[in-house]
Chain A
Amino acid sequence: MSKLLEIRGLRARIPGGREVLKGIDLDVGAGEVHAIMGPNGAGKSTLSSVLAGKPGYEVTAGTVLYRGRDLLAMPADERAREGVFLAFQYPVEIPGVNNMYFLRAALNAGRRQRGQAELDAQQFLKAVRERLKLLDIGDDLLRRAVNVGFSGGEKKRNEIFQMAMLEPALAILDETDSGLDIDALRAVSDGVNRLRDPARAIVMITHYQRLLDYIVPDRVHVLADGRIVASGDKTFATELERTGYAHLGDAA
């Protein structure tokens, strides 16, 4: 079966700065949930940024194929329209841009790219209501400007809600658990679990094993000093909890 995402020998740095990714190899298949763990500074967020096309990083070597296409050659907006979704660690507040207006523009941009008809206001609202129900979210978030005045938990739930609306083939969740209390973590995790789908891959980047109690991954990888130094199945996370990352870093 062809992989949804194939990363080979990926190296990246901040222009003029140090190398952060030092040769990443990773395969993710449709329907799979992968967790990427590792200590601070290992390159986890850089990996998600590079995959999403955030400016400010320079890929110096390696390839990333998404559905067999060169992902790195696509601008960020095209990647998103092709089904790559990044749930931000720090969702950005955008005063003056209404959440609904923004989301409808985003959704219809993707539909245009796929040759589908755009949703009119009524169809869009119907889709919104279905997803809100699925994720058990109130509709008050929608009337506000994008992320403005949202609590940390609301911002993360808004990311998952956007994911539910945009229905990506590949979702990268960057530290979606950070800053959440236990109730918010459970709510966000439930949302992600409901979005698991045989056609969708999810890559979770996290600092804490805790998230994996709620969203059980198929594969767990440890990223240390810019490389994936160990991989395993879901039981591997529990083992890591016991042994820590340090010995893996040494081995690498």
Chain B
Amino acid sequence: MLMTDDSAPFRAAFDRLRATADEPVWLTTHRGRAMDRFALMGFPTRRQEAWRFTDLEPLTAAPPLPAAAGDGDLPTPASLAPWLLPVATHRLVLVNGRFAPALSAGPVLPAGVWLASVAETLRQRPDLLDGAFRGRAGGGAEGGEEAFATLNAALFTDGVVLVLEPGTVLETPVEIIHHITSAAAHARLHIVLGAGARATVVETATGGGAGWANTVGVVTLDAGAVLTHLHIQAEDRAACHTAVMRAVLADRARYEACALITGGRLSRRDVAVTLAGDAAEFRLHCAYLLDGGQEATLSVRADHLGLGCRTEEVVKGVLAGASHGVFLGTVAVAPGADGTDARQLNRNLLLSPQARVDTKPELQILADDVKCSHGATVGSLDEASLFYLQARGIDPETARRMLVEAFAVDAIDAAGLSEPLADLARRHLRRWLDGGAS
């Protein structure tokens, strides 16, 4: 492999950050190894199959670097208001990857729940993060996303840790706001739900400038645990967003994810879910809505290892302007993972002749008794529907908006979210339709 100098600016940032950090030696050691690994790896290139559709140039040409603590304007409660759930939540706001206590709030945590920033957790309950940074969670081959995960491991400034003891139900949603200014934010999310525990997490990515959010999320669901995870990605259109999400599901665990992707000039979300136990379930409902020169890639890998597991992915794309959407979906069924039931569907709506989409749903089946389906469609707005609406007096622009909303809102409705979450997602969808639809 050719040596690249991708790592040079990061190495300098790494040294600056370490000079002021106060953290356990084992973590510093771990960060150093990650920095070295990234130096060898460099960013993925388009020669790698899973990255050939993604143009990383906007990011790699001049990658934003982490801000020093206190750099960048803090958002105000008023500026965050449009992004907040309309109900009581445990709210944690991260600004440029650092926990902002002044903007965070929530009721007293019930027994059996640990919810705090990574920094706080390292101070008070380092045992909860024991092993969390070593190796990598999840199965599957190491892909290009490992570069982003590794860089995050070297440079992360803070994040959120949610640990539920077995049988604990956290009714109040956890609301995490990732706000970035024109800097890089390497934040982490660690979620561990004990057997039978349940939680709801809403992650919203806002802010922007020419910043870069690079998040790593690690989810571990023990037997029968249920995590509902809504992700709204809505940074300004000059920003970059990369995220690596890895989840491991034990017997009967359920991971219900819903994502709305509208922000950033370049975004890429790599989700890898390992259905390790029997009868585990992974559901993903996602919509990416892009305009102008935006590009978004959603890469989802579901590894079925256990018996009778289910995966359901419904991904909708709305592409206006000269935007580019990419869906890469792989369902891999391991030998012996009988009774697998997996469905993948990617539907795309092209609103302009310049918009593009690349879609690649794949199945890798090594078991005998499975039920798997996958499909992808690319189309434009239905002319007959447009005329029908206009024949009732609705102007063409409103008619188009109604049809686009109907197409995309399905991803939210089908996710089966509770009303406050669905409302937040729908509100964001309308915001996009008001401002972004051409």
Contacts and interface: CB of A to CB of B under 8 A. Distances in A.
A77 B389 CA distance: 8
A58 to B, nearest CB: 16
Interface of A: 52-55, 75-77, 80-81, 85-86, 88, 91-92, 94-97, 102-103, 105-107, 109-110, 113, 145-146, 162, 166
B393 to A, nearest CB: 4
Interface stretch (B7-15, B66-74, B221-229, B400-408): B400-408
Given A54-B387, A88-B388, A77 B395 contact: yes
Minimum-distance CB pairs A-B, first 9: A96-B406, A80-B393, A106-B392, A92-B388, A77-B390, A81-B393, A109-B393, A76-B390, A97-B406
Contact of A77 (B382, B385, B394, B402): B394
A103 B405 CA distance: 16
Contacts of B102: none
30 contacts: A53-B390, A54-B387, A54-B391, A55-B383, A55-B387, A75-B390, A75-B396, A76-B390, A76-B391, A77-B391, A77-B394, A86-B391, A88-B391, A94-B385, A94-B406, A95-B406, A96-B407, A96-B410, A97-B389, A97-B403, A102-B389, A102-B392, A103-B392, A105-B402, A106-B394, A109-B398, A113-B393, A145-B406, A162-B392, A166-B392
Contacts of A162: 392
Most buried by A among B383, B385, B394, B405: B394
B314 to A, nearest CB: 13
A96 B385 CA distance: 12
A77 B398 CA distance: 11
Contacts of A107: 393
B141 interface: no
A18 to B, nearest CB: 22
Nearest to A168: B393
Contacts of A145: 406
Interface in B356-395: 382-385, 387-395
B250 interface: no
Contacts of A80: 390-394
Contacts of A113: 393
A44 to B, nearest CB: 17
Contacts of B151: none
Given A55-B383, A96-B410, A110 B389 contact: no
Given A53-B391, A97-B403, A107-B393, 19 more contacts: A55-B383, A77-B394, A77-B396, A80-B391, A80-B394, A88-B388, A92-B387, A94-B385, A96-B406, A96-B410, A97-B402, A102-B392, A105-B394, A105-B398, A105-B402, A106-B392, A109-B393, A146-B388, A166-B392
B409 interface: yes
B406 to A, nearest CB: 3
A110 B406 CA distance: 22
A92 B390 contact: no
A94 B385 CA distance: 6
Interface SS of B by simple majority: helix
Nearest to B404: A96
Contacts of A53: 390-391
Nearest to A81: B393
B430 to A, nearest CB: 13
Nearest to A52: B391
Contacts of A76: 387, 390-391
Contact of A106 (B383, B393, B406): B393
Interface of B: 382-385, 387-396, 398-399, 402-403, 405-407, 409-410
Contacts of B409: 96
A145 B389 CA distance: 13
A159 to B, nearest CB: 10
Nearest to B388: A92
A71 B385 CA distance: 22
A146 B406 CA distance: 11
Contacts of B396: 75, 77
A97 B382 CA distance: 13
A151 B394 CA distance: 25
Contacts of A92: 382, 384-385, 387-388
Contact of B393 (A54, A55, A166): A166
Contacts of B391: 52-54, 76-77, 80, 85-86, 88
A87 to B, nearest CB: 10
A57 to B, nearest CB: 12
Nearest to A162: B392
B395 A94 contact: no
A107 B124 CA distance: 61
A67 B405 CA distance: 36
A115 to B, nearest CB: 14
B151 to A, nearest CB: 40
B425 to A, nearest CB: 15
B9 to A, nearest CB: 46
A231 to B, nearest CB: 27
A243 B408 CA distance: 55
Contacts of B394: 77, 80, 102, 105-106, 109
